[in-house]
């Protein structure tokens, strides 16, 4: 049996040319994909898109275009790609169902980065967690609580919940109360507290601190003590206000509420 070397040579040459052409298509396609992603990155940068969002968009686009390129090269070699595409779609559907929670966090993270209800450094309450935002990712938001505990919250949980951002506005109100005993003149206490509150470090001048009669109870009058400050100084002003109330009432010689209550009970 004679070997038809001419036929074998022709087949091998054709196969080599196809492989070379396929390799060339892959290299050219890869270069075009890189070029397209680079152009997209420059366009998004010019439009001030968030860098994190740019990276994820570029990654997703790169994966999709490379899959399309591989399918096209397989078609060039005469391989039936219909069943391959159906298999790929089925795998994608199965992975999507298994990772539905992760994909939900991904989608929520994209919207959080686009619409920016908060940013790194903001003090928020979101997803049942309160603290300072230290990282905004595509899947999770990292929040550090005032007691220095790092909490990682899924973006879908935050986006589906009420978010309070205490850093958006220029200042916030510190809410404290001061209990007066029976017989203590609340107007005198107000006159003493108001100027003293303004002297606390980091309390802003406008709006001026509020000291008003809030309520009455079995012990006497309750005052609302409300200085205003930037969020960064909230806890300092909070604790200084408490100390100021105790100091001011002590220097004024006001009787403690429970002493008045005990005397009242004894008289009865």
Q: Are strands 176-179 and 164-165 parallel, antiparallel or unpaired?
A: unpaired
Whole-angstrom Cα distance, residue 30 to residue 38? 12
- State the Cα–Cα distance between residues 208 and 227, nearest whole angstrom: 7
Helix, strand or coil for residue 214?
strand
pLDDT of residue 263: 47
Q: Could you check whether the bond before residue 106 is cis, i.e. omega within 30 degrees of 0?
A: no
pLDDT per 10-residue tile (average), the chain, 268 residues: 65 75 83 87 79 69 80 72 62 54 75 84 93 87 94 91 92 95 94 95 95 94 96 94 96 80 46
Count Cα atoms within 13 angstroms, Cβ side, for 152: 5
Give residue 132's pLDDT: 94
- Residue 98 is predicted with a pLDDT of 47
DSSP characters over 146-175:
TTS-EEEEEHHHHHTS--EETTSSS-EE--
Ordered by where they begin, the domains of the chain are 5-98 (1.10.287.1260), 116-165 (2.30.30.60), 172-267 (3.30.70.100)
pLDDT at site 105:
79
Query: Any idea of the CA torsion for 211, 124, 147, 232, to the nearest 10 degrees?
Result: -50
pTM above 0.75, yes or no: no
């Amino acid at each position: 049996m004679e070997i038809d070397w001419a036929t074998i040579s022709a087949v091998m040459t054709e196969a080599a040319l196809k492989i070379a052409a396929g390799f060339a298509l892959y290299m050219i396609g890869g270069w075009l994909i890189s070029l397209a992603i680079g152009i997209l990155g420059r366009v998004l940068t010019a439009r001030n898109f968030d860098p994190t969002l740019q990276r994820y968009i570029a990654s997703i686009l790169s994966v999709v275009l490379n899959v399309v390129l591989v399918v096209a090269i397989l078609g060039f070699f005469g391989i039936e790609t219909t069943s391959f595409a159906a298999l790929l779609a089925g795998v994608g559907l199965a992975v999507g169902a298994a990772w539905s929670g992760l994909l939900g966090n991904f989608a929520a993270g994209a919207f959080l980065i686009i619409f920016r209800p908060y940013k790194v450094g903001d003090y928020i309450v979101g997803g049942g967690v309160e603290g300072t935002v230290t990282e905004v990712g595509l899947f999770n938001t990292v929040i550090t609580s005032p007691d220095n505990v790092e909490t990682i919250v899924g973006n879908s949980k935050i986006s589906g919940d009420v978010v309070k951002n205490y850093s958006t506005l220029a200042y916030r109100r510190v809410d404290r109360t001061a209990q007066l005993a029976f017989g203590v003149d609340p107007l005198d206490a107000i006159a003493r507290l108001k100027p003293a509150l303004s002297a606390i470090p980091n309390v802003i001048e406008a709006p001026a601190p509020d000291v008003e009669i809030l309520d009455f109870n079995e012990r006497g009058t309750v005052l609302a003590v409300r200085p205003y400050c930037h969020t960064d100084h909230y806890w300092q002003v909070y604790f200084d206000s408490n100390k100021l109330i105790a100091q001011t009432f002590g220097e004024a010689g006001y009787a403690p509420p429970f002493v008045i209550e005990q005397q009242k009970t004894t008289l009865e």
